[in-house]
Amino acid sequence: MAGPRYSPNFEEYIVCPFDSAHRIMPVRLSYHLTRCAKNFQASKMVRCPFNSCHLHSVGDMQTHVIDCPDRSALERYKLPDKLPPVEPQPCNFTVECSEDWDSEPPAPTYNPSTYCEKAFIIRNPQGAPPAARREFRESEKKRFQENKEF
């Protein structure tokens, strides 16, 4: 038995300006338009100067250029001082706090090798030659036998 099937959400799809039967995901729109334009070469569609995915007839293009949502990016580029910023400027405020995270902590620092030498932890020397590993194992065996405080 197959798993649950998920139906596509057709509300997220965009209708192709060349053929209204084509429904395209927004991510694939630019790819689809270049391929679909080859099939509809006789159509008099014009690309928007602000977004190449906006295709309109010659008559509709004048009204689209005025109302295009991508036009604001060009306007912001040409007139950065006359338009409000895209995002509001962050307000600079400070919070008074008695903690100083830059000062040294009151506890001593942790050294794992000294801790392992004092505690009953089995260690394994990495990258040592066989003779050194054998010698290390013997010294560890003596250390465990001398400090039997279980």
Residue 69's pLDDT band, with cuts at 50, 70 and 90, is: confident
Alpha-carbon distance 53 to 68, whole Å?
Answer: 12
- Residue 10 pLDDT level (bands cut at 50, 70, 90): low
Alpha-carbon gap, residue 89 to 119, rounded angstroms: 55
Amino acid at residue number 37: A
Q: How far apart are CA 38 and CA 99, in angstroms?
A: 67
Query: What values do phi and psi take at 15, rounded to 5?
Result: -85, 135
Residue ranges per structural domain of the chain = 9-42, 44-86
pLDDT at 1: 46
Q: What is the DSSP string of 91-118?
A: P------S--TTSPPSSPPP-HHHHHHH
pLDDT in tens, 35-65: 888 888 787 888 888 888 888 888 888 888 8
Q: Please state the pTM of the whole predicted model.
A: 0.42
